[in-house]
Amino acid sequence: MKKSLYILSFVFLVSLLFAGAAFAQSSTPPTDDQVNAVAHKLYCPVCESTPLDVCPTDACKDWREQIRTMLAEGKSEAEILTYFEDQYGARVLAEPPKKGFYWLVYLLPPALILAGAVILFRSMKAWTTVKADAPNPVEATSAKKDDYVARLEEELKKQK
């Protein structure tokens, strides 16, 4: 009984595997939206700074067709992006790969923003301290003025 249960489970798993493969092969052809979703993550290898999904050249049409073919073959988005990177280099990826030298692209901007925030915070703190320690300009002016008025009145008295 136990043995037959094992055999049945095995047959079920194998049939699932085949069904998956058959589904991948016989599924409906990829739509333009599906192709463009992948193409949007790639740049034209020939024209500078043109996303592959909007590139109007014949070469780009060929590359989009290639994406369509690969999707129809059951290739995942990650596999297609890897294929394009292997063929044409990392420069065709809209999002740089998270490896090696490319980490700088991800780490540098937040690091610079953080450093800028620290500098700004410290500078603002220093300016606030200076303002708090400095004498009140209104008081200083009125004190000067009183002194001047007193001297003026004294001189007037002397002349009288």
Partner 1 sequence: MTEETTPPKRGVSLTAQIIIWVFIAGLLALVGFGLNRARNPMAAVGDRVPDFDLVYYKGYEYNGTAQMKLSDLRGKIVVINIWASWCKPCEQEAPELEKAWQFYKDGNDVVFVGVDYVDTPAGANEYLKKFSITFPNAPDLKSNISSILNRQMGVPETYFIDREGILRNVKIGPFASPGEIQSIIQSIQ
- Interface contacts to partner 1, rule CB under 8 A: 45-46, 57-59, 62-63, 65-66, 69, 86-89, 101, 104, 108, 111, 115, 118-119, 122-123, 126-127, 129-130, 133
List, in order, residues 6 or more apart from 24 with CB less than 8 Å away.
Answer: 73, 74
The 8 Å CB, 24+ separation contacts for 126-135 are none
**Residue closer to partner 1, measured from CB, 11 or 59:** 59
**Residue closer to partner 1, measured from CB, 113 or 126:** 126
SS3 147: helix
**Residue closer to partner 1, measured from CB, 74 or 89:** 89
List, in order, residues 6 or more apart from 154 with CB less than 8 Å away.
Answer: none
List, in order, residues 6 or more apart from 98 with CB less than 8 Å away.
Answer: 106
**Residue closer to partner 1, measured from CB, 9 or 123:** 123
Q: How far is CA 41 from CA 2, 51, 52, 54, 124, in A?
A: 51, 7, 8, 11, 42
Length of the chain: 160
Task: Report the nearest approach of partner 1 to the CB of residue 132 (Å).
Answer: 9
Task: Report the nearest approach of partner 1 to the CB of residue 158 (Å).
Answer: 30
Task: Report the nearest approach of partner 1 to the CB of residue 58 (Å).
Answer: 6
Task: Report the nearest approach of partner 1 to the CB of residue 12 (Å).
Answer: 39
CA 135 to centroid of chain Cα atoms: 48
**Residue closer to partner 1, measured from CB, 10 or 121:** 121
Task: Report the nearest approach of partner 1 to the CB of residue 89 (Å).
Answer: 4
